[in-house]
Chains A and B, each alone.
Chain A
Amino acid sequence: MKLFKSLLLLSLPAVFLFSCSKSSNDQQIQISTQEYHTGSFIQNGDTLNSKNKSNGRAIKGTLKAGQTYYLSSDYAAATINKGDTLVIQSGVKVYIVGPASGANAIGTQEHAPGILVNGTLLSLGTKENPNIFTVQNTALKSDPTKDPQDPNTDPAFKGYWGGIQGSTTSGDIILKWTRLEYVGGLTPANSPTRPTLSSYGVFFQNPNANFVLEDCWLYGSHDDMIRVAGGKYEIMRNTFEKVGFIAGECVNIKSGSVGDIAYNVAVGGTGNCFKSANAGGLSPQANMTCYNNTMVTGGYRQQKAGEGGSLDFENGGRGLAYNNFIVNCAYGLSVLGGSGTTPAADTTNIKYGYTYNYGDNTAITTQFLPSGFITKVQTGDINGGNATVPGANNPKFVNYPLPMAANTAFINLDFVGNYNFRLQSSSPAVGKGYTDFKPYAVVKIDKVFGATEITPPGKDIGAYQMDGTGNQH
């Protein structure tokens, strides 16, 4: 115990001194250093972001299987230092706790702590014993029995905590069988990179490190759920629900990022489900191989017309998109482009096809090829064109009522609940997939330090394969 105390809050109140060797420059600069806190090991039941009332805490070591830990809204973020690793074994619960109301209420600015990752984070849930990050107070949570509910009052979009924030020099972030809920609290005003903005669920931004998101549930966010602004990534077999209040993508890929997005289910996202744009000036170019995803009722909370709802390539983004299911989304696959002064996608390096569009009304079917984009009907598309008759080619999901009633408010259909997007054997999607391409597979296969499985392209369109492979939720 004494050892811990002495390790705790070891600070180095030093000052950098810079002076240049160039003779013309005699400028002396003194800069106060960061007060560095050595990471401390965690006890069962610890509060991750405070120890002895410290405001924020550096942590390392192991969150032990089946144990419960806390992030308190009274304190700043928990930090994993450079060189340190935090391992989360299976069946671990991390509860975000704090006052439900008042000035210091959980989720208000400076009261929405997250985990800042400068080192390595491994969350190793299993199918049987997943890990969960959520709000403890059930009164603050979204009540599934109320679904479908009005998003204006649904707590899923409130943003109670600050998610997992990787730095530009972080190590790997590996999340397996982990449930992240209610992310998107406002970042602190003194956040070095994004002050006073809704935090992303997971922000990864080191082009040289690995990011794995496998078999996870991502439920409820205020803005982007996953943003990869640099990184080698594998985003496979996850389920996204209630992502983005009035803006936000399920997965937003920026420059410096290469990887695969496959076998994901995204229901009721507000912006695009999966987007690739080469913004940010990093190398390599933003690149996604996006296949066998099922996207349902996306794009309705976004009040800005013209874009968002399923898949998007723009602003120098490149990649592949095959075998994707786009069901009652506001807009179909979007490729921005052509010549001219539009910030176009890297159209010479984009290939897509075997897209299965489904729409219940003409507002949807006439935007399968969204207005203002250069998306064309491709080989293998089902319901490829904007002249598709509403209701044509019912996907025949195991449990999802299609066609919807004429007056359905798609905006409220942002949950999975008891629906089941597996295919009936009679589904037109069965066997219509394209398999003659390869995932990037940029992350090594490893049960702990890499991807457990990089599922190759499937022969059935969408996230669920008749042979039982694909999404396991």
Chain B
Amino acid sequence: MLLVLLLLISFSGYAFASGIKVKVTDQATQMPVANVIVKVNNSAITAFTNADGICYLDKVPFGKVAIIVWAENYKQQVIDITVTEKTTELNVSLEKLKINLQEVVIKGKVNPRSDQQSRLTEKNTIPAIDIASGDLIENTGSISAADVTQHIQGLSVTRTSTGNTDKAIIRGMEAKYSYTLINGFKIPSPDDKSRYISLDLFPAGLLQSVQVYKSLTADMEGDAIGGVVNMVMRQPQDEPLFQINLSTGYSGHYFDNQYRTFNSDAVQNHSPYERFGPAYYATGADFSKSNLDFYNKKPLPDVNANLLFSHEFLNKKLGLIVAADYKNIKTGSDGFFIPLNTQPNLNNVPAFSDFYRHSYSNNKVALSTNEQLVYKPDNSNKFTLSHFYLNQKDIESRSTVDTSLILGRSGAGTGRIYVSDRSRVHEQEINNINLKGNHNINALSIDWAGVFSEATGRYPDWSVLTANTGRLVAPDGSITQSPLYLAPLNRIWFSNKEKDIDVYLDLHYKPGIFNQKLTLSGGGLIRRKNRDNFYNSYTFTPTINEPFTNINNAVWVNDNGPQNPLGNVNNPNNYTAKERINAAYIMADLQSGRSEFSGGLRMEQTDQNFISTLDPDVSYGKIVNIKYRDWLPDLHWKYTLNDQQQLKASYFKGISRPALYDITFATIAYEDYIVAGNPFLRRTQADNYDFNYTWYQTKNTQLKAALFYKHIVDAYEKTLLNGNDELYPIPQNGLDYTPAGQLTEQFKNTGTAINYGAELYYSYDWRNFVITGSYTYTSSNITRIKKLLTREDPNDPSSNLVTVSKPEKGPLEGQAKHLVNVNLLYKNTPGNWLANVSLIYTGKHIDLVSPWYNLDYWQRPNVTVNLSAEKRLSRKFKIKLSASNLFNNGITDDILVPNPNGSGNLLPAQKQVNKITVLKQDFSAYYQLGLNYQL
């Protein structure tokens, strides 16, 4: 009945209505404006202008109506007219919107995930900052935070073995020179060695934006030289939100490859030692077999889903957001790797012992949630309770054919061959909960926060099942292949847990002088970090002449049990570490005319303490205490040239603390080679200068330019030590230091490095397109002490071979001289279409520093092209399609010395004589199809 009535009303309206032609032009240029939304207020009558700026409004009811005219980049107009039968045309001229530098004008009215909000934040933030907005995250089809960061100028990313983006390199400074925040709070790392957190862990769907600070103020933690990545998780918003994104994906790798896997459910999360205690004598029955039983299958399509809910309660005093993300993604890659032999041939002609052909299959299964509750009892007080949880499992198999380049090799397809399969599950978990408060009491504002976080990483039952055979050439040229025999097996459990408890306090005071333009701030941080590392391994030795078929038929000595039934836990990889950071700062901010000055001084006191399982009867160093204090000044200046243009200049001092693992006495022995920790490693200290210019022409048309210069003292790098080189400055046996004793790799301070460069960013708005391009030039220089294998008397070929030190200059590891980013966004609002193409170019850079002179692994330039498109089906539904790394670009590393084999085939996979290709990893495109529902 009601329906009938409604129909009648609308029919009655129909009888008294008019069609109106609307033409929209730009006020300044008089040019027509396309894609303008023209809407009759309080009705469903809506139209979009065409390329001539024209649209038609049908059946506009007679009488007084308000017509809303809105276009991106233009000021919205509301035209009140009285429609009669004579009303047939309406001309509207729109005024182009200028981004106003006065924050207050727009604040609160802009979608917090939009580009616009990000540009605003960039403008209003005094340190140098670049922000990847939620828009960018959506438009580029990013899956993880790492995918997002590669679109930011000055940043490049490293990749995992199956091609997923991993860690960010900021301005040529590798991950150890940066830190990561969630909602402004530092979180501990689930990584087994480093402080750094893989950005692959953070799902793009939960991100509001990614902020990259390139300079620091005194209220920020000081241990960044490259920069800070702040992941802003989705925040409660004004409008109720319920959103579901559901997508499926497939790696192009599996169009024509099989996915190799094992039963990961069979992996025992805890070693026999952990399960049965230290006195337990493990037998073969304590070890599962099916996680070493490998098989191939065609993978099912992937799942990538997330859900968001946000609502406000209690008269908008209480805001809530709940977000969850689930991923099950399979990626794979093929490639090869030729590691350098532990030492080269005479005069550092590279020597290689093995050629590894690897094939990786990775399955990432991750669940993350983000919840935030914001309570604003009044305008002066705000409480925020946030929680972030993440659990990611990387189930990875790696099958390898290792051809010995030494033993029995007389040409392609001959010699000793190892065939192996690695079963590895890496589980990472992060739990971060924080409560913060903001209070304004007249001229004083107080911010406080308490943070508890825990990060866990574990590799349960990491093992490589290996068998070997040989193909030997007889004098008559025939090849004899020996049977496939089982090789020794190690089964390793290792895990790490880091717990942080932090308390933050910040006070801001406006003393009411200088026209309220002065803010004095002070505050501090107390952090208690505890880290536990656990390592346990079991060794199995095969019986002699045991032909290999599979793990179920493998026979080991000791009744199929391990050689060390008690497990190996009493080793330097087991340690507990504590780190206490006490920091305090003072800071002043003054606005004066067009300038804003900010200066501050931060003090950070670091206390580190380690206890290892080293036996004090055997060695010193069971307990290590390290203390230092840093004074970190900063000075920032922001100058507003006019409404559109702004300059920023800054200086700050930053540090980089070595990872806790690197400063223990941990020692790992390889055959002929040792990797040793270094408690004497000094933190890196750097003076950083930054200069920024920004010109905001319209919302999407802008120019940004930046220059930076970093003077880095006590950079540290992996360094190779000779037997006589200093391992530790501890006097031993008449020497005033402890020599390494043999070839040892260790982190050493390598002296002073310089890093400078420039960034240029331009985005241009043209009709339905936004074209964005950025270019970054970086140049760094560090002197590393390398080794050279030469003759004692280079002119006497009968003199002894000696290893001598030789300094070599080069760029920082991972620093590419040239980075280019191009992004083309096409928006067809009337058609509800959006498409985006991006291209990322990373120039040549050192992938791996060799401790030997002139033998670094250089990665070739690399281009990635990503494509994504979305079409809105209705107000509630949207479909999305994306392809990342469309052209299957992988990575290739070379040693830049001539190949002494020329075009000979003793070294496989060589195509050029002027360099030696030592690593190649083929990555595949990843395709996604998704559906987005929004209430």
- Using a CB–CB cutoff of 8 Å, the interface residues on chain A facing chain B are 16, 18, 20, 24-35, 37, 55-56, 76, 82, 102-103, 108-110, 151-152, 168-169, 186, 188-197, 205, 207, 229-230, 245-246, 254-256, 278-285, 287, 301, 303-307, 314-316, 318, 336, 339-344, 346, 348-349, 366-367, 370-372, 386-387, 411
Contact = CB atoms under 8 A, between A and B. Distances in A.
Contacts of B475: 366, 386-387
Contact of B405 (A26, A33, A246, A342): A342
Given A29-B625, A340-B901, A103 B485 contact: no
Given A24-B713, A190-B615, A372-B408, A197 B345 contact: no
Nearest to B683: A27
Given A193-B669, A282-B723, A305 B407 contact: yes
A285 B566 contact: no
B408 A306 contact: yes
A108 B614 CA distance: 20
Nearest to A14: B620
B624 A30 contact: yes
Contacts of B803: 281, 283
A151 B409 contact: no
Contacts of A371: 408, 410, 414, 472-474
A280 B669 contact: no
Interface stretch (B36-44, B217-225, B348-356, B434-442): B348-356
Interface stretch (B208-216, B363-371, B514-522, B542-550): B542-550
A28 B628 CA distance: 6
Contacts of A109: 563-566, 568
A379 to B, nearest CB: 20
B535 to A, nearest CB: 9
28 contacts: A18-B730, A27-B682, A32-B622, A33-B620, A55-B617, A103-B279, A152-B543, A192-B667, A195-B571, A205-B742, A256-B723, A278-B343, A281-B803, A283-B723, A283-B800, A285-B802, A305-B472, A306-B470, A307-B407, A314-B406, A315-B341, A316-B346, A316-B789, A341-B901, A349-B798, A371-B410, A371-B472, A372-B409
A35 B415 contact: no
Interface in B111-164: none
B685 interface: yes
B754 interface: no
A255 B733 CA distance: 21
B667 A341 contact: no
Given A189-B571, A315-B343, A341-B916, A303 B620 contact: no
Nearest to B679: A29
Contact of A28 (B568, B627, B723, B739): B627
B899 A341 contact: yes
Given A307-B407, A315-B341, A386-B475, A279 B672 contact: yes
Contact of B743 (A194, A281, A316, A372): A281
A388 to B, nearest CB: 10
B285 to A, nearest CB: 16
Interface string B710-739: 000110000011111000011011000001
Interface SS, B side: loop
Contacts of A336: 406
B291 interface: no
B734 to A, nearest CB: 9
Contacts of B685: 24
A371 B304 CA distance: 54
B404 interface: yes
Contacts of A343: 341, 343, 345, 351-353, 406
Contact of A18 (B406, B680, B789): B680
Nearest to A32: B623
Interface of A is mostly: loop
B482 interface: yes
Contacts of B566: 103, 108-110
Contact of A372 (B341, B410, B571, B797): B410
B874 interface: no
Given A108-B565, A282-B722, A371-B472, A341 B900 contact: yes
B907 interface: yes
Contacts of A348: 797-798
B350 A341 contact: yes
B30 interface: no
B675 to A, nearest CB: 12
A192 to B, nearest CB: 5
B564 A342 contact: no
The 4 closest A-B pairs by CB, nearest first: A305-B470, A306-B408, A306-B407, A281-B743
A305 B416 contact: yes
A181 B349 CA distance: 42
Given A285-B802, A340-B901, A31 B679 contact: yes
**In this complex, which of A197, A282, A346, A367 has the most chain B Cβ atoms within 10 angstroms of its Cβ?**
A282
Contacts of B380: none
A273 to B, nearest CB: 17
Contacts of A342: 345, 351-352, 405-406, 906
A278 to B, nearest CB: 6
Contact of B564 (A26, A35, A196, A315): A196
A279 B353 CA distance: 13
B342 A279 contact: yes
Interface in B667-711: 667, 669, 671-672, 674, 679-680, 682-683, 685
A320 to B, nearest CB: 13
Contacts of B801: 278, 285, 316, 318, 346
Interface in B470-503: 470-475, 482, 485, 487-488
A111 B888 CA distance: 54
Contacts of B416: 304-307
A193 B620 CA distance: 13
A287 B474 CA distance: 31
A27 B620 CA distance: 19
Nearest to A9: B617
A341 B907 contact: yes
B565 A306 contact: no
A205 B744 CA distance: 14
B482 A305 contact: yes
B468 interface: yes
B723 A281 contact: yes
Contact of A29 (B407, B468, B626, B722): B626
Interface in B275-296: 279-281
B59 interface: no
A31 B620 CA distance: 7
B802 A283 contact: yes
Nearest to B476: A366
Nearest to B901: A340
Given A169-B732, A245-B541, A340-B900, A196 B713 contact: no
B787 interface: yes
* Residue of B407, B671, B802 ringed by the most chain A CB atoms within 10 A: B407
B343 A192 contact: no
Contacts of A307: 406-408, 416
B571 A34 contact: no
B904 interface: yes
A117 B484 CA distance: 41
